[in-house]
Amino acid sequence: MKRYSNYKNGIIRESNANALGTGDVLGNLKDDIIRSGSAAAKGTGRVVGNTKNGVIFESSSAAVGTGRPIGSVKNGYVFKGSANAAGTGSRIGKVEDFVINGMEREKDENIIAVWHFLVKKIF
C-alpha cells in the first residue's frame, strides 16, 4: 500500500491516507532545523539536519548553517554536493519531484531536507 507524507503545524507524518495531520509522526521542522522523533510537538526530538541559504546540512547541532553540507536547492532544482553554496554539485531532480502534502508554502530547501532526513534518503 502506498504511503503518503504530509505536513501540518510543523509536524511531518506518513500515512496510508492522503490527508493532512494524519498518520505516524516522522519528525518536525522548526526554525530551519529538522528533528526526527515520534513526538507530535515542534522543537522536540533528535536534530538530524538544518538549512541555510539554500544549502542542506547534516548535523546534530541545533545551530542553523552548521554541519556537513550534503546538498542544495537553487531555482527549483536539487543538487547533490558537499560545497557550502547553493546550486553546486550534480543535479538530481526538481523540487516538485519530492512532494510532501501541506509543505507547499515552506522554503524549497526545507522541503528537500525534510524529504531526505525523514522520508527517504536522496543524497
Q: Which three-class secondary structure state does DSSP give residue 80?
A: strand
d(CA 68, CA 59): 7
Average pLDDT over residues 46-69: 97
Alpha carbons 54 and 63: distance in angstroms, whole number? 15
**Average confidence (pLDDT) over 16-26:** 94
Cβ-count burial 63-102 (b if 16+ within 10 Å, e if not): eeeebebbbbbbeebbbbbeeeebebbeebeebeebebeb
Work out the mean pLDDT of the chain and round it to a whole number: 96
pLDDT digit string (tens) for 33-55? 999 999 999 999 999 999 999 99
Instruction: Name the residue ranges covered by the structural domains of the chain.
Output: 4-119
Q: What is the largest CA-CA distance in the chain?
A: 38
For 4-21, give one letter per residue: b (16+ CB within 10 A) or e: bbbbeebbbbbeeeeebe
pLDDT in tens, 85-95: 999 999 999 99
* Coil, helix or strand at residue 109: helix
Q: What's the pLDDT score for residue 116?
A: 98
Which pLDDT does position 2 carry in this prediction? Answer: 87
Task: List % helix, strand, coil for the chain (3-state, nearest 5).
Answer: 10, 40, 50
CA 49 to chain centre: 8
pLDDT for the residue 1? 79
What pLDDT score was predicted for residue 21? 94
